[in-house]
């Protein structure tokens, strides 16, 4: 998960004066990868403490992009939102997200789904990545291991994007 901005922000941002973004990386499991090569300014280890409290110590997140399918962590992160903050859910899971109305009402927080994956989303994500100097990290599998790649992705064991290489 990342505290940052959704693509709609990028659409408005292209024609606006510069606005600094401070992104925070919140992996679901401990990662030895530093935050900065992945585009984040800060790193919060969700295994070592309360991620929502850590976000509040940093001033609260205006936007949290929930890219990993974890209903349990997603529900807890609502408390890391600042006043008028939005939790944007990109990664889905069949389990319900447990959120009390009191977590939302007092600080006017919102939860929003975002069906990412359109060609326009990909274009804007690449443009934003270029602006931030972020490159994709991939687990590359040869075509003959496509089933292994699929199983790794479906079991949620993939560390980065799973890519199948068609030619050697």
CATH of the domain at 115: 3.90.180.10
Q: How many domains does the chain have?
A: 2
pLDDT band for position 149 (50/70/90)? Answer: very high
Q: Are 30 and 88 within one domain?
A: yes
Q: Are 104 and 158 within one domain?
A: no
pLDDT band for position 108 (50/70/90)? Answer: very high
Question: Taking 90 as the threshold, does the pLDDT of residue 138 lie above it?
Answer: no
Q: Are 142 and 129 within one domain?
A: no
Q: Are 125 and 166 within one domain?
A: no
Q: Are 105 and 25 within one domain?
A: yes
pLDDT of residue 150: 92
Mean pLDDT, residues 156-168 taken together: 85
Q: In what helix (H) or strand (E) does residue 104 lie, and over which residues does it extend?
A: helix 101-105
pLDDT of residue 21: 61
Q: Which domain holds residue 154?
A: 137-168
Q: Are 122 and 160 within one domain?
A: no
Q: Are 82 and 52 within one domain?
A: yes
Question: What is the spatial distance between Cα 87 and Cα 62, in angstroms, rounded to a whole number?
Answer: 8
Q: Are 91 and 153 within one domain?
A: no
Is the pTM higher than 0.85? The answer reads no
Q: Are 89 and 141 within one domain?
A: no
First to last CA, the chain: 33
Q: Are 142 and 64 within one domain?
A: no
Question: What is the spatial distance between Cα 24 and Cα 114, in angstroms, rounded to a whole number?
Answer: 20
Q: Are 92 and 9 within one domain?
A: yes
pLDDT of residue 19: 45
pLDDT of residue 48: 81
pLDDT of residue 22: 67
Closest CA to 166 of 142, 148, 150: 142
Q: Are 7 and 26 within one domain?
A: yes
pLDDT of residue 29: 53
Question: Taking 70 as the threshold, does the pLDDT of residue 54 lie above it?
Answer: yes
Contact between 131 and 21 under an 8 Å Cβ cutoff? The reply is no
pLDDT of residue 32: 52
With H, G, I as helix, E, B as strand and everything else as coil, classify residue 89.
strand
pLDDT of residue 8: 41
Mean pLDDT, residues 125-138 taken together: 78
Find where tokens 């997140």 sit. Answer: 61
pLDDT band for position 144 (50/70/90)? Answer: very high
pLDDT of residue 12: 44
Question: Taking 70 as the threshold, does the pLDDT of residue 4 lie above it?
Answer: no
Question: What is the spatial distance between Cα 116 and Cα 2, in angstroms, rounded to a whole number?
Answer: 15
């Amino acid at each position: 998960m990342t505290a940052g901005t959704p693509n709609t922000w990028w659409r408005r941002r292209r024609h606006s004066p510069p606005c600094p973004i401070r992104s925070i990386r919140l992996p679901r499991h401990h990662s030895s990868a530093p935050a900065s090569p992945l585009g984040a300014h800060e790193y919060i280890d969700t295994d070592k403490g309360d991620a929502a409290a850590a976000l509040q110590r940093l001033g609260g997140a205006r936007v949290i992009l929930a890219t990993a399918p974890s209903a349990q962590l997603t529900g807890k992160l609502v408390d890391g939102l600042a006043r008028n903050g939005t939790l944007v859910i990109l990664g889905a899971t069949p389990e319900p997200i447990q959120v009390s109305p009191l977590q939302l009402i007092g600080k006017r927080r919102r939860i929003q789904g975002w069906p990412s994956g359109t060609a326009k989303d990909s274009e804007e994500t690449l443009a934003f990545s270029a602006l931030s100097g972020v490159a994709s990290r991939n687990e590359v599998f040869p075509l003959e291991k496509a089933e292994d790649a699929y199983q790794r992705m479906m079991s949620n064991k993939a560390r980065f994007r799973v890519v199948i290489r068609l030619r050697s």
